[in-house]
Amino acid sequence: MPRSSPTTLALPPFSGATRRLILILLGVFFADALLGLILPRSFYGPLLNHLVLHPVDVLHGQVWQLVTYAFLPLGILGTLFALLTLWFVGSMLEDIRGARWLYELFLTSAVGGAIVASLIGFTHLFRLDPDVFLGIGPYAALYGLLIAVAVLLGDVEFLLFFILRIKAKYMVAIYILIDIATLLKSSNAFEALLHLSGALCGYLFLKFSPRRGLAYGLTERYFALRNDYYRAKRRRAARKFEVYMSKQGRKVHFDKDGRYVDPDKNPNDKSWMN
């Protein structure tokens, strides 16, 4: 948990986008447990196989797996640790960047991490076999959040496992090194590759996305292009009107933005212009 002055065991606020993401993950966990009990194995197994990340299936059109895998549970302990991590880290990021930004970072890390890891997997690096490896769980998205904490709040101190006091940037570096070692030495290399790919996409999102998020940046860009279009249309109409009036033996003037300039008024007075 974060520490800025005295050490405290107080939990962060449970609200906003962080709460909604946690509740979604909890809902999927219990739904998965319930379906596993009431559905026959012959149906439950194929259903789950269509939701986990299997890059060969994605290549054949099951693109929803790039999102659904990140919300599937990894067992009780794996889900518990993921939810606690999301609670502590997500609440910190949401406090400084907002709910929409947190949603975008979470999804960008999850989807981008799945795409990058799958593409690398098809190269057969790190002894990966694209016909058998699969991904499941929210940890690619969580690694994107952890990277953001390391960059934005690197000197904030945590109590790792409620025992060891450590700065955020060093804690995240330890996680990254563990996954690099797993990628190089373990038979479960794709899981580590997925974590690292999520961390990479989280870092790229942090560096290149607008401060208020991609949706805000795209909206601003859309309105800027729309306004440029209307200004150009107004200037074109003004030029046509000038040509028309000159043929009638009268001269009219427009400024560079296509606004009519009244010759009988102060040219420096812009308050009357349409």
Q: How far apart are CA 51 and CA 49, in angstroms?
A: 5
Amino acid at 242: E
pLDDT, one tens digit per residue, over 16-40 is 999 999 999 999 999 999 998 898 8
Q: Choose the final residue of a domain: 209, 235, 259.
A: 209
* Residue 248 within any structural domain of the chain: yes
Alpha helix (H) ranges present in the chain? 16-38, 41-49, 55-59, 65-68, 75-97, 99-121, 139-152, 168-185, 189-208, 214-247
pLDDT, one tens digit per residue, over 88-128 is 899 999 999 989 999 999 999 999 999 999 999 888 887 78
166 and 245 both lie in a single domain? no
Containing 221, the helix (H) or strand (E) segment is: helix 214-247
189 and 272 both lie in a single domain? no
Main-chain phi, psi angles of 159, to 5 degrees: -100, 100
* Residue 4 within any structural domain of the chain: no
Helices (H) and strands (E) in the chain, counts: 10, 5
Inform me whether the pLDDT recorded for 241 exceeds 50. Answer: yes
At residue 274, the pLDDT reads 44
* Residue 216 within any structural domain of the chain: no
205 and 244 both lie in a single domain? no
Q: Choose the final residue of a domain: 152, 179, 209.
A: 209
How deeply is 142 buried, as exposed, middle or buried, from its count of CB atoms within 10 A (0-12, 13-18, 19+)?
buried
181 and 98 both lie in a single domain? yes
pLDDT, one tens digit per residue, over 130-142 is 777 888 999 999 9
Structure-token pair, residue 263: 């010759």
48 and 97 both lie in a single domain? yes
82 and 200 both lie in a single domain? yes
DSSP 3-state assignment of 2?
Answer: strand
193 and 246 both lie in a single domain? no
pLDDT band at 229 (very low <50, low <70, confident <90, very high): confident
3-state secondary structure 157-186: EEEECCCEEEEHHHHHHHHHHHHHHHHHHC
* Residue 172 within any structural domain of the chain: yes
pLDDT, one tens digit per residue, over 3-20 is 444 344 457 888 899 999
Inform me whether the pLDDT recorded for 2 exceeds 50. Answer: no
246 and 202 both lie in a single domain? no
Average pLDDT (33-58) is 89
Structure-token pair, residue 43: 């149906």
201 and 248 both lie in a single domain? no
At residue 217, the pLDDT reads 58
Inform me whether the pLDDT recorded for 250 exceeds 90. Answer: no
* Residue 1 within any structural domain of the chain: no
* Residue 108 within any structural domain of the chain: yes
Indicate the number of domains in the chain. 2
How deeply is 52 buried, as exposed, middle or buried, from its count of CB atoms within 10 A (0-12, 13-18, 19+)?
middle
* Residue 2 within any structural domain of the chain: no
For residue 69, what is the domain's CATH number?
A: 1.20.1540.10
183 and 251 both lie in a single domain? no
At residue 237, the pLDDT reads 75
pLDDT, one tens digit per residue, over 153-210 is 888 877 665 567 888 888 899 999 999 998 888 777 889 999 999 999 999 999 988 7
Inform me whether the pLDDT recorded for 50 exceeds 80. Answer: yes
187 and 243 both lie in a single domain? no
At residue 107, the pLDDT reads 95
At residue 264, the pLDDT reads 64
* Residue 180 within any structural domain of the chain: yes
Average pLDDT (71-89) is 91
At residue 12, the pLDDT reads 82
Residues 6 or more apart in contact with residue 150 via CB below 8 angstroms:
168, 169, 171, 172, 173
At residue 262, the pLDDT reads 66
At residue 140, the pLDDT reads 94
At residue 7, the pLDDT reads 41
Determine contact, residues 98/212, Cβ cutoff 8 Å: yes
Inform me whether the pLDDT recorded for 246 exceeds 80. Answer: no
174 and 249 both lie in a single domain? no
* pTM of structure: 0.76
Structure-token pair, residue 221: 């860009």
Q: Domain limits at 266?
A: 223-274
